């Protein structure tokens, strides 16, 4: 599975979410840059560049969700943190 391989190589959902958010900003920068730098291309060309980069965000957010679910499922389930809470049930109200 691709998600497992990416996780084993150190990629975490937070990394992918940050890349997705950055790609939204990069889409705007690419659109503005193309609009100003390529005068002969016009707005249609700038729109195509912005949309091309903008399509990365949903893909990366989807991959982030898949990694997040994989991380949640791989988290050790057990009583290893059972001693963190006081027996009275008044956590943090001492």
What is the chain's length?
94
pLDDT over 80 at 73, yes or no: yes
Q: Which two tokens stand for residue 58?
A: 């949903």
Q: Quick check: is 78 in a domain?
A: no
Q: What is the mean pLDDT of the chain?
A: 82
Instruction: Look up the pTM and report it.
Output: 0.68
Q: Quick check: is 88 in a domain?
A: no
Instruction: Average the pLDDT over 21-30 and give the result.
Output: 92
Q: Quick check: is 57 in a domain?
A: yes
pLDDT at 67: 95
Confidence of residue 93 (pLDDT cuts 50, 70, 90): low
Q: How many domains does the chain have?
A: 1
Instruction: Average the pLDDT over 61-68 and give the result.
Output: 96
pLDDT over 50 at 78, yes or no: no
Q: Quick check: is 64 in a domain?
A: yes
d(CA 71, CA 60): 16
Which residue range(s) make up the domain with 25? 13-73
Q: Quick check: is 91 in a domain?
A: no
Q: Quick check: is 17 in a domain?
A: yes
pLDDT at 88: 58
Q: Quick check: is 63 in a domain?
A: yes
Q: Please list the alpha-helical segments (H only) found in the chain.
A: 2-8, 13-37, 42-54, 56-74
Q: Quick check: is 85 in a domain?
A: no
């Amino acid at each position: 599975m691709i998600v497992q391989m990416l996780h084993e190589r150190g990629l975490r959902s937070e990394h992918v979410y940050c890349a997705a958010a950055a790609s939204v900003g990069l889409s705007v920068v690419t659109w503005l840059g193309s609009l100003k730098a390529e005068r002969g291309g016009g707005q249609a060309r700038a729109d195509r560049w912005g949309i091309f980069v903008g399509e990365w965000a949903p893909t990366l957010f989807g991959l982030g969700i898949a990694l997040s679910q994989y991380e949640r499922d791989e988290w050790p389930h057990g009583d290893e943190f059972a001693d963190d809470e006081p027996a009275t049930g008044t956590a943090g109200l001492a």
